[in-house]
C-alpha cells in the first residue's frame, strides 16, 4: 500500500528565504506524486505533479519539486519565500485502487509560516 510522510508539521521561514518542505513516499509500484496547497477556509489546489519523464517538475507560484527514486522523496522547494506562500501544503501519492477511480493518499500536511 502507498503512504506518504511529510517531515515537519510546521515550517517557518523568513520572507525571501528558501522554502523546503519534505515528503517521503512508500509505493510498491512506480508512483505518481502530487503537491497541493490549501489556503485558510479553502479547498486544495494543485501546485505540481510528477507522473513520468523529467524528475524536476515546476509548478505554479514559483514552486518546484524533484522526484528522487533512490531516496523515495519528492521535496517541494521555492528559492525565495513570499508572504502569500503562507498556507498548508500536502504531498500525495497514488493508491493502487479500484478500476476506473484511483485514490490519492495524502500526507498529514505541513503548515508554512512566513516571517516578515
Partner 1 sequence: ETGVTQTPRHLVMGMTNKKSLKCEQHLGHNAMYWYKQSAKKPLELMFVYSLEERVENNSVPSRFSPECPNSSHLFLHLHTLQPEDSALYLCASSQETGRPLYGYTFGSGTRLTVV
Please give the Cα distance from 29 to 97 (Å, whole number): 12
Q: Does 111 contact partner 1 by CB under 8 A?
A: no
Closest separation between CB of residue 50 and partner 1, Å? 11
Among 25, 65, 107, 112, binds partner 1 (CB under 8 A): 107
Considering only residues 8 to 67 of the shown chain, the ones binding partner 1 according to CB under 8 A are 32, 34, 36, 41-46, 49, 51
Q: Which residues contact 103 (CB under 8 A, 6 or more apart)?
A: 94, 95, 97
Cβ proximity to partner 1, 75 vs 109, nearer residue: 109
Cβ proximity to partner 1, 50 vs 81, nearer residue: 50
Cβ proximity to partner 1, 54 vs 98, nearer residue: 98
Which residues are near partner 1 by CB under 8 A?
A: 32, 34, 36, 41-46, 49, 51, 90, 92, 94, 97-104, 106-109
Amino acid at each position: 500500500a502507498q503512504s506518504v510522510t511529510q517531515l515537519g508539521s510546521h515550517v517557518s521561514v523568513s520572507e525571501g528565504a528558501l522554502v523546503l518542505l519534505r515528503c517521503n513516499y512508500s509505493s510498491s509500484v512506480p508512483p505518481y506524486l502530487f503537491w497541493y496547497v490549501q489556503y485558510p477556509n479553502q479547498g486544495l489546489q494543485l501546485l505540481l505533479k510528477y507522473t513520468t519523464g523529467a524528475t524536476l517538475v515546476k509548478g505554479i507560484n514559483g514552486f518546484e519539486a524533484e522526484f528522487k527514486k533512490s531516496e523515495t522523496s519528492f521535496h517541494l522547494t521555492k528559492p525565495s519565500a513570499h508572504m502569500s506562500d503562507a498556507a498548508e501544503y500536502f504531498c500525495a501519492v497514488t493508491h493502487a485502487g479500484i478500476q476506473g477511480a484511483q485514490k490519492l493518499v495524502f500526507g498529514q500536511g505541513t503548515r508554512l509560516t512566513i516571517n516578515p
